[in-house]
Amino acid sequence: MRELRGRVALVTGASRGIGAAIAEALAAEGCHVALAARSQDAIEKRAKEIRQRYGVEALALPVDLGDATQIGPLIESVVTRLGRIDILVNNAGAGIYGDVASLRAADLRATFDVNFFAPVAAMAAAVPHMRSQGDGVIVNIGSIVGKMAQPLGGGYSASKYALHGASGAARAELKSDNIAVVLICPGLTDTEFAAHSRISVPGLEDMQGERHAPLRGVPTERVARRVVKAIRRREREVYITLFDRLVVLGAQLFPGLFEWGLLLATKIRRQRFAQSMQE
């Protein structure tokens, strides 16, 4: 899929952050884009800006990806209104903070609904259309913590591990249909993701906003440019930075040393979380 002009792409979680940047980057390449997210006002504003800036079709499709019954109609709406679906970007994600042994089951299920079950359902709905077209690219936005443990973020890591496994299997299953499955593994990115994370800590279950990321991370535009490049090349797995790749490699090659680092990171993260709750 070297030529993207005229293609139709659906990007979930497109109201802000990585999803918004990917939608704009694809539009800049001449793609018609459908932006899906819960925030109707935000995606309508972005869709209007994209139409004016790039002269492509841009749809705003409000959807709650935590509700599986809305996903099939979302795909059908894209096909009905834009004629086809060439690129599916499963970007929408939900964060969760808390000890694995203390996570509320309802919080964990809600995280998996968005991070795992929604992308799988979207693939299931999009694949028949891509098969009939004879081509397609599915992009699943994973994470480097889907390759290694994350202290106090085990629920989120587990959901990304699951997505990574499904992506690898689907890649092999769909190759004969000329449908590529691209897994993107970003590291720390400069978004508001932490601020919107679910907190599953006894006594704090109704709160959101883990405000203790130690670094800002890479710009979302950098992630988006790399995603567009991966779509063109139909790559298998993509890391955004060399540092991300080396961290994952180090965790695999030196598990004892990595575990020591996790213990230190857990201590520091608990301190930051406690401080943020006092602010």
Cα angle 225-230-234, degrees, rounded to a multiple of 5: 155
Q: Which of the four pLDDT bands, split at 50, 70 and 90, describes residue 274? A: confident
Using the CB atoms, write b or e for 138-174: b if 16+ within 10 Å. bbbbbbbbbbbbbbbbbbbbbbbbbbbebbeebbeeb
Please give the pLDDT value at position 273.
Answer: 73
Report the alpha-carbon distance of residue 146 to residue 100 in Å, rounded. 15
In which element (H, E) is residue 265 found? helix 255-278
Please give the pLDDT value at position 276.
Answer: 65
Domains contained in the chain, number: 1
pLDDT digits (tens, 9 = 90+) for 186-224: 998 877 766 667 676 766 655 656 555 555 688 999 999
Q: Which of the four pLDDT bands, split at 50, 70 and 90, describes residue 47? A: very high
pTM score > 0.75 for this model? Answer: yes
pLDDT digits (tens, 9 = 90+) for 86-107: 999 999 999 898 899 999 999 9
Is 158 among the domain residues? yes
Is 2 among the domain residues? no
Which residue(s) pair with 10 in the sheet?
34, 88
The two three-digit tokens of residue 210, written as one number = 């883990």
Report the alpha-carbon distance of residue 177 to residue 4 in Å, rounded. 19
Q: Are strands 198-199 and 237-239 parallel, antiparallel or unpaired?
A: unpaired
Structural domain span for residue 105: 8-278
Is 1 among the domain residues? no
Q: What letter does residue 70 receive in the DSSP assignment?
A: G
pLDDT digits (tens, 9 = 90+) for 49-72: 999 999 999 999 999 999 999 999
Please give the pLDDT value at position 196.
Answer: 63
Q: Are 86 and 135 in contact (CB under 8 A)?
A: yes
Q: Which of the four pLDDT bands, split at 50, 70 and 90, describes residue 261? A: confident
Q: How far is CA 36 from CA 53, 60, 114, 169, 179, in A?
A: 19, 6, 13, 25, 22
Active site residues: 156
The percent of the chain in helix, strand and coil, each rounded to the nearest 5, is: 55, 15, 30
Q: Are 26 and 32 in contact (CB under 8 A)?
A: no
Residue 114 burial (C-beta neighbours within 10 Å; 0-12, 13-18, 19+): buried
Is 3 among the domain residues? no
Please give the pLDDT value at position 37.
Answer: 96
In which element (H, E) is residue 34 found? strand 32-37
Is 229 among the domain residues? yes
Report the alpha-carbon distance of residue 185 to residue 172 in Å, rounded. 19
CATH number at residue 24: 3.40.50.720
* Among the listed residues 22, 26, 33, the one whose alpha carbon sits nearest the alpha carbon of residue 3: 26
